[in-house]
Each structure stands twice: as structure tokens, then as C-alpha cells.
Amino acid sequence: MKRAYNFNAGPAALPEWVLQEAKEHWLNFNDTGMSLMELSHRSKDYEAVHNEAKELLTSLLSIPDNYDILFLQGGASLQFTMVPMNLLPENQTAYYALTGVWSEKAIKEAAKLGNTAISVSSKDDNYTNIPDPQKIELPKDAAYLHITSNNTIYGTQWNNYPTSLSVPLIADMSSDILSTPIDVSQFGVIYAGAQKNLGPSGVTVVIIRKDLIKEDTNLPTMLSYHTHAKNNSLFNTPPTLGIYLLSLVLKWGKQQGGIEGIASINKEKAQQLYDVIDQSNGFYRGHAEEKSRSKMNVTFTLPSENLTKAFLQEAKEAGFVGLNGHRSIGGCRASIYNAVPLDHVVELAKFMKDFQNSHL
Ligand code: PMP
């Protein structure tokens, strides 16, 4: 069976190797006579998978010893609540860089729990760029700075981060985690829903510096990082199937040459599409300013609403899935996460050139 040209924004393409590997062991995991989903989360067989996923992530992202990895549920959206609940004291203010709809949602949840303020914003520019991270200055009452490292809807991405902050940097990396090397020690917390670069929906990865994990008996038990860190994310039943698939995605990541290998393929994929846009004499117009372009979500429009519609229709007929822009901004968006093969992107680039030539 030929795999679809899947450019979905999330849930998104998974590596074919991961699906084959899971299929192979579907009915009989590790000679247990049952599938992984049927194992107890307290069993040795499951625990080995759980811990291997943590080890693989630690090795791929070079996560230092003073960080904990948590596997939670509730999506990245629940982190919009858990971050301020755990890290925003009453007499301090949480600062947010506003770079898109997901940052807006994050600050909205934090504002229900404490004092918030916007540190920098590109809202007046219709979220076409990322503000200069080195210009971010925070007052003394700051508890943390929250950023969205890749803006899935607008197709913008931070390509460097604030370096001289005196407070923890918290990053929602839902749509670009594991796409390029990062220095984890620059961050207090990194969180990501799995369904773009890490696996299926249902598991959320949180990487948190240990000194930020504090016991607070007033917090709801399940919403406290301390609960999950103390129990190796096994306080209650974790999403075992999602974590198993995550471990396979991470193994696949190693096969790609680790984070450097993944990043170099991602660079080539993004270049394919941005080259078509840049060489189209304005036929394709990118939403993002060049310096803020995302290597994960390539957003663009055509000269008219009718041409955009025709493009999406013809692309669909040609077998390209998921190219519609987010319902909030329209246009087109190609999500080219880690698992989207280079040759699928090459096919899309070819289709875009052919479409332009036949509609001039
Ligand atoms: N943050 C970003 C950057 C996202 O792209 C998304 C989902 N598209 C979310 C948060 C919300 O994630 P979830 O659906 O896992 O709550």
C-alpha cells in the first residue's frame, strides 16, 4: 500500500518503521502472550518500555541530570494551566511572549490563576514574526517567561532564545520538539503534546528542571508536577500505548542519525518549499517574515481566494492531505514534521511549481 502524502498539522504523519514495528508486536509483546495495551502498567515489561522512552529522549536531546522527564495527559493545553499553577507565586507575575494563538491561549489560562503580563508581542504584525529574544527584559517581580517555540498556525519559529534571563524560561515546544538541537539547560520547563513530532496524541512530554519541582499540598494532586516526578509518571495509569509508540519514534530518531541527522533532513525539506515560494515571483506568498520562518509549518497564500481554493482542491485530488491553513487564518499550510519523508516534500514542491505554471 502506498502511504498518503500526509501534511496534517497534528495528529500528523508517523514514521512507517514505527507503525510496522508496532504491528509486528501487536498481538504478542515481548512473548507475554498479550499486546502492550493489555499489560499492567506495574509490570516489568511495561516499565522497561517506560524507562527506555525516558532514556532515549535523554540521549537524543542531551537532557542534563538535573532535569526530570514526565509523561502526562491532558495535552499541551493542560500545561497552560499546570505551568502557572506550579510555578507562579501569588506576589509575582508570569510573563508571556505573544507570538500566536497558542500563546494567547496559554496566557489566558495563566490569568485565571495569578498575575500575568505580555513581555513582547507580534500580534500587531498579524503574527508574521518572532520578536528579538535578546531585547526581552523582565522586571523584578517576574516568575518566569513563557514562549511558544514554534507557532503551528502562523508558521513562525524562534531560531534563538533569550539567554540572559534571571528567571526560568518555559517553552511550549509542541510543534518543534526534537526537530533541531537545543540546549536544554537554557530552559526551566519544556512541554509538548506528542502528536506532531513524538508520537500519537494522548501523551504529553514535560522536561522540567528538578529545582522547580516543589511539593505543595494545596494543589490538586494530579495537577502537581511533584506528584508525577516523585512517582516516575506512574502515580496513576499512564497512557501506555502512547508511551510505547513514543519509545519507537525515539528509536527511529536514533536511526536517522539522532537530532543532528533529523535537523539536517528538516532543513532540506523546508528549503524545498521555501525555494518554490521565493522563486514564484509572488505567486506564492509566505505568511512568515523570512527571518522567522518555521521549518515545521510552511504557511502561504496564492494571489486570490479563488486560486487558493483551486490549489487546495487540485492538491487534494493529487493525493496531498492536510494542506488547508488553520481555520482561524485560512490559506495553505504544509506541516512537515520529522516523520514526513523528504520525497513527499519533493513531490509537493513539484506540484506547487506545476500548479503555478498551469495557472499563470
Ligand atoms: N501548543 C501548540 C504550539 C500547538 O500547536 C498545539 C496544538 N496544535 C497546542 C499547544 C495544543 O495542544 P493539545 O491539543 O495537545 O492540547
DSSP 126-142: TT-S---GGG----TTE
Q: Are 179 and 295 in contact (CB under 8 A)?
A: yes
172 is catalytic: yes
Nearest to 57 by CA among 71, 40, 39: 71
CA 56 → CA 48, 60, 64, 243, distances in Å? 12, 6, 13, 12
pLDDT at 184: 98
Whose C-alpha lies nearest to ligand 1, atom 14? 75
Whose C-alpha lies nearest to ligand 1, atom 6? 174
| ipTM value greater than 0.95 | yes
Nearest to 36 by CA among 15, 17, 16, 21: 21
Q: 311 pLDDT exceeds 90?
A: yes
135 CA to centre of ligand 1 in angstroms: 26
Q: 66 pLDDT exceeds 90?
A: yes
Ligand 1, closest atom to CA 80? 10
pLDDT digits (tens, 9 = 90+) for 19-52: 999 999 999 999 999 999 999 999 999 999 999 9
Cross-strand bridge partners of residue 169 = 145
CA 39 – CA 53 distance, rounded (Å): 17
What fold is seen in the domain 16-255? Aspartate Aminotransferase; domain 2 (3.40.640)
First CA to last CA distance, the chain: 35
**How does residue 334 score in pLDDT terms, banded at 50, 70 and 90?**
very high
pLDDT at 1: 78
Q: Where are the alpha helices (DSSP H) in the chain?
A: 16-24, 44-61, 75-87, 101-111, 225-230, 240-255, 258-278, 305-317, 342-358
pLDDT digits (tens, 9 = 90+) for 119-174: 999 999 999 999 999 889 999 999 999 999 999 999 999 999 998 899 999 999 99
What fold is seen in the domain 257-358? Aspartate Aminotransferase, domain 1 (3.90.1150)
Q: Please state the domain extents for the chain.
A: 16-255, 257-358
pLDDT digits (tens, 9 = 90+) for 285-310: 999 999 999 999 999 999 999 999 99
Q: Are 200 and 173 in contact (CB under 8 A)?
A: no
**How does residue 75 score in pLDDT terms, banded at 50, 70 and 90?**
very high
32, three cell numbers: 507475554
Nearest to 300 by CA among 355, 358, 360: 355
Q: Fold match between 16-255 and 257-358?
A: no
Sheet architecture: strand order including 297-301: 285-286, 297-301, 332-335
Ligand 1, closest atom to CA 153? 5
